[in-house]
Amino acid sequence: MSNYDVSAFFRKARYPAIALIAVLVFAGCSSTMSNVKTWEGDADVSGTAVLKAPAEIDVLQVNGRRLTNFLMDDLALDFELLPGENQVVFTYKTIWAKSGVVRNGESKVHVIETAPQAVTIDAEPGETYRFSFEAPDSRSEAESFASDFSADIVNASGEAVASAKAWDGRSAERTAVALTPVGSRSDDSGNGGSEEAGTLEELKALWGEASEEERRSFLRWAFE
């Protein structure tokens, strides 16, 4: 990614500090950004399980907790799960280039996406799970697959442990296992928390104003 591409993204920032924070977040933490925590609070990470999701899988929520995905489009991600039952709601999306002439303003690709699907995984501590399905080889196959979607969740040994089905719209919420450590409550007299929240909102606004090409260029640069 060129310096021009990076600067084009950051020119919209109201404060130089926001651009600096974004660089630190994406460049300094790029090696861990593929891991997504699916619960509130803290937990012993050594006792969690991992669900590996390819770029075609867009995880919408886990145990009723919606996941922020404004930086996660089209990325393969590892979702950390607490031991026990975890309901994962997701969609499967593929993109296919259009053939022939494309009119001005018309999308150059076909986007094929399933209705929301759900799967419940009884996660074992330290286990790794992944999605297993027959990937389509053509747009017509993708359309058929999306209308009659099927996928399994398999463990590290390749054994199927759960199967996905169409989501009925009901979210399964679990009792919180992860608790906030004593002494970490935000009851300090300082305003550090509000400042951090303000900076986060600025970053979200900046991302929302960026064009699709600026977003993709920025993500390519951040993950180099």
Query: The whole model's pTM is what?
Result: 0.64
Segment 52-70, tens digit of pLDDT: 999 999 999 999 999 866 5
Q: Which residue has the higher pLDDT, 135 or 33?
A: 135
pLDDT band of residue 176 (cuts 50, 70, 90) is: very low
* Displacement of CA 189 from its chain's centroid (Å): 34
3-state helix, strand, coil in the chain (%, to 5): 30, 30, 45
Segment 65-102, tens digit of pLDDT: 998 665 556 788 999 999 999 999 999 999 998 887 77
The number of residues making up the chain comes to 224
Structure tokens that stand for 195 in this block = 């400042």
> How far apart (Å, rounded) are the C-alpha atoms in residues 135 and 112?
13
Handedness of CA 188, 194, 199, 201 (dihedral sign): positive
* CA distances (Å), origin 17, targets 85, 152, 161, 196, 219: 42, 45, 47, 12, 19
Residue type, 23: V
Domain regions of the chain by residue span: 1-33+196-224, 43-177
Segment 7-46, tens digit of pLDDT: 555 555 555 545 555 554 544 444 445 789 999 887 777 7
Mean pLDDT of all residues belonging to the chain: 77
